[in-house]
Structure 1
């Protein structure tokens, strides 16, 4: 399943940056990438966040928000597994 989640809809691999410690990589995703990966529109994403059904965002600046790639991948995996 990890391999299936590593491809965009067009079949291109998602480019990932490894962590320096060599552990399971994680990075921050901006809104357009989260929307592309989940297939949701912006309002649906924020609605699911408000209901606690989608991972919360991380404030990275005064006007910049991101999401943990690991949390988003886990959310997608749960949907694929039917949970």
Structure 2
């Protein structure tokens, strides 16, 4: 089964982060970068977002 990719609005909803926060964290190397799916389309592999969420859920407990 092919991996699902999430567009930015979905990533914002799932993580609770704003667009500017996502890009600021990416600049600091603290958030996964999206992959290019087309000439003007990027998305995040769902597994990368799941892993990021798991890491941040554990670090806050």
Question: With structure 2 as the length reference, what TM-score do the two structures score?
Answer: 0.90
**Higher RCO (CA 8 Å, separation ≥ 6 residues):** 2
Q: After the TM superposition, which segments of 4 or more aligned residues of structure 1 sit over 2 Å from their partners? A: none
Work out which of the two has the higher radius of gyration on C-alpha atoms and give 1 or 2: 1
1:72-83 alignment runs, 5 A limit:
72-82=49-59
Cα displacement string for residues 1-44 of structure 1 (whole angstroms, at most 9, x for unaligned residues): xxxxxxxxxxxxxxxxxx16xxxxx3111111000000000010
1:74 CA displacement: 0.4
RMSD: 1.4
Mark the runs of 5 or more structure 1 residues left unpaired by the alignment.
1-18, 21-25
The count of aligned residue pairs is 60
